[in-house]
Structure 1
Amino acid sequence: MNEFNTYLNNLDYSLIKDLCERKGKVRTYRKGDFFIRQHEKKRFAGWVEDGTFQYTHIDEEGEEHIVGYSFTNEYVCDYSSFMKGSLSWVSIQAITDCSVYEISSHDIIEYWETDMETQRLGRCVAENLYEMVYERLLDSYCSPEIRYKRLMERCPNLKEAVPLKNIASFLGVTPETVSHIRRKLRK
């Protein structure tokens, strides 16, 4: 579902995928297992061979918000915790059984420093992640209907992959609002 994580667009990630498969270790996560919990550190990323992860953030009032997903053939990690060793801002939890090739930040950084092409790839990953986060920030100023339309244009199969209440949480609205938007768009 590469259309969800737009940072994957326009880049050839096969080199990093190959590195994960070569140097990484296969790890199985059962539905409900955590890849990382909010406020923990994890210096590993993973290539999702199979399965789906959900990213959540618990705010100061204890409310949980869905902030992202990683699907089969995508990467899973909290980028700042992975690269800088800082505390994670999110929890990443398997919402299906998952098989992941995990690789350490040390191995990725060492790889990115091998030549100019891999340095460029590392820089492009960071730039694309920044662009995706910036787009998400600007989306927060749009109406719920526009946010829903953009999400469905980008990721038309999402409604089959995750429940309505999770899509609503991702959009920052109630499930009833999403149902209302869907009814309106069907007319």
Structure 2
Amino acid sequence: MDAFVEKPKRSDDQQTEIVRPSRHEAEDAVRTLLAYAGDDPRREGLLDTPKRVVDSYDEFFSGYHESAHEVLSRTFDEVGGYDDIVMLRDIEVNSHCEHHMIPFIGKAHVAYFPTDRVVGISKLARVVDVFAHRLQTQETMTAQIAETIDDVLKPKGVAVMIEAVHQCMSLRGVKKPDVATITTQFTGIFKEDPAQQARFMTLVSSDRGR
């Protein structure tokens, strides 16, 4: 099968089309990398490696075929008079650095201050997953999560914090393990009101002995 043009389903990306290689071409590329590493892709232990790697890529980078806006599309207007922060803490983040295609792993903390509608709490975690399952920088991903929630839900404000360890720093280069990178993004009330921003940070770190 030859390469084909694919239009991503996601509405939150400016890219309109890509030329996506066939699966056969992708597996051939893995064989090339195996040979470049110094091994024989024809030896028994590596015969199925190209298939496994491509299967892994389909899982690791599934976010290219999902829309974070669509994830948040179903909201609920009945909030029963609730008028305070909605927060998810310690959402697992597993992504890949776009510079070296090596994982970075950590936690995301996401909060928003609703106006007249809320979204199912699992959807906030799904938004994190959509952006994490793409080649990323942590800084860009943090901004994308906050901007998407802000754009779709129109809340009083959004707060996002991500803490992650980058294997491209731990396993190569300066080789400094367990160094956490922390990024934050605030909109609306969390950006304008220092007390609300401090409250978010307190909720992130509470009961952790920090």
Same fold per superposition (TM over 0.5): no
- What TM bracket, shorter-length normalisation? under 0.3
User: What TM-score does the superposition give when structure 1 sets the normalisation length?
Assistant: 0.25
Larger Rg: 2
Q: Whose helix fraction is larger, Structure 1's or Structure 2's? A: 1
Higher relative contact order (CA 8 A, sep 6+): 1
User: What TM-score does the superposition give when structure 2 sets the normalisation length?
Assistant: 0.23
